Structure 1
Amino acid sequence: MSVVEIIDHDEVIYRILDKPPPEPPKTPRYESELEKQLKELKIPKLQKTFGYAETPLNPPDQFLKKGEGIGQPIKKSDHKCYVSGKLPPVPRRTVSGKKPEKPKTNFKVLNIKKAIKTKPKPVEPRLVDTRDGHIKKIKGSGEIPEYCLRKDFGQMPAYLVNRNRRIQKKIDKIKYAEEHKESLCKLISEQERQALLKDLKYNWQLLQKDFLQLPMLTDTIPKILRKTKMEQELRQLEKDIALIESNPYIYIYD
C-alpha cells in the first residue's frame, strides 16, 4: 500500500461548507425631488450661539455719517383739518406807523388813592427779656391776662349744657311714667269672687272623693307619700275657701 503526500494545495474548510443564500435586494427608498431642490437652494447661516470669536470691524471708509443713524419714528396720522366757514376771519396786520392807543385810566392816581386808604399792619406786641435782645411774643406767653377776659369765661361749655338737658329729659320722662302708671293691684268683682269660691269647693270635693277611696292600710312608702300629699292639698284648699269666705274684698296683682 502506497501513501501519497499532498504538499501544495489551496483547499479551505470554509469553501467546502455550503454558503447561506444571499439576502434579497432592498427596494430603493423614496426620495422627494422637492427636498433635493431645497437642499441645493439652502444658504448656510452662522450659528448665533456664542457669537464671533473676534468682533468683526467695519472698514475705515464705512463710518457713520450724518443722517444715517436711527432716528425717531415718524408717527403717521390720517387726520385732516377741514376749514369751515364758521371760523372767525384772520385779523389784519397792524400798520407799523400807528402807535397802540393808551388806556384812559390813570393808574398813578389809583395807586396813590389805594396807598392812602390802606391801613398799616398792626405791630405785634413783643417783649425783650434778656440783655442779648431775645424777643418773645407777649400773646400766649402768660404775661398778660387773656383767658379771663373772654366772653364765655366762667360759663358752662355748650356740650355740657346739651348733655345736662338730655339727662333732665330722661329723668322727667321716668317721673311722668311713674306718676301716671296704672296700679298693679286690682279689685275683683263679686261675681268673680263667687266663681272662684265655687271652683275651689268643686276641687275640694273631687280631692276629698279621691282621698276617701284610698285603702285603709298604708303599709308601703308610696301609699304613705300619696296620702300625706293629698292631706296637705286638702288643708290648703280649706284655708283658701275660708279666706275667700271671710273677706268680701279681694285684691289681685297682675
Structure 2
Amino acid sequence: MPAECQENIKRLIPRPKTPVVKPPMYRSVYTDSIRRAFKANKDCHRTMGYAEVQLDPPTRFLKKHTRKVVRPFVEKTKVTRPKSSLEEMAEKKIAEGCEKIPRKPLPDPNENKIRKNIKQINMVDVIRKVPPLTKHRVQDTRNGHIIVLDEAGLEPTYVSKKNFGKTPVYILKMYKEKEKARIMENERIKAIKPPLRYIPEHERNKLLNGLKINWAELQKEFQLLPMITDTLPKMKKKTMLEKQLKDLEKDIDLLERSPALYVCRDADDGESVE
C-alpha cells in the first residue's frame, strides 16, 4: 500500500504550519528621486504643443511643393589636375627659349576630299555576287509547314563526299605506328639472348642421380641420430635434417615428373637454347 494510505498515530495530532519568511523586496536607492522627477514633469506637455507656440489652423495643412527648402550655397571651385612630367618638361624648354614642340598639322578645309559613292559600290557588289543555290524544301504537313532537308539532316550529303566509306587518315597513321612499334619490339627481343636454357636428357639424369645420392647421405645421417632428443642442439639438428630431406624429395619429384626442363640462363653462360 502507498505511504499516504497507511495509518499513523503521529498524524492524528495537527501540527502548526511554519510560516514562510520571504526576503524583503529589492528597492533601488534612486526610486524616490525618479518618482519626484516623473511627477514634476508629468503635466508639462498635456496640451498639443507649448502654450506660447501659435498653431496653424486645420485649413492650412501641409501640401505638396509648398515647403520652402533653402539649400546652402556652395561655391564652385575649379579643380586643376596635376601636370605630367612631359608637360613640365615642355614648359621648361619653352621658358629656356627652345623651339616649340611640333604638333600635328590641322587639316586644310580648302583641300579637295575624295568622296566614296556608296550606292555605286553596293550596285557593283550585288551584280558581281554569285547567286545562292536553291534549298531543297519539303512541305511535311497539310497546314503548310516547310522544312529544309539539308538543315534537318535528311539530305544524303555525306554519301556525296570523296572520302565516304574510306578509312580516315589518322587511323591509318595509328596502324602504321603500332606496326612499326611491334617490329622494333620483335627485333629487340631477337637481339637479346633468351632468359631460359633447356636442360638436355643426360644433364637431367646426372642432376637427378646427384640429388638421390645427397638424399641417401642425409637419410643415413638422420637415422644415426639418437632416439631421445632431450637437448636443444639435438632438436635443431633433427629439424634441419628433416627440412633438407623434404626439399630434396621435392626436387627429385619435380625432375622425375618433368622430362623437359628450362632453367634461367646466367650472365656468363654462352650456351644456346636447344
Q: Do both share a fold (TM > 0.5)?
A: no
Q: Which has the larger radius of gyration?
A: 1
Q: TM-score, normalised by structure 1?
A: 0.39
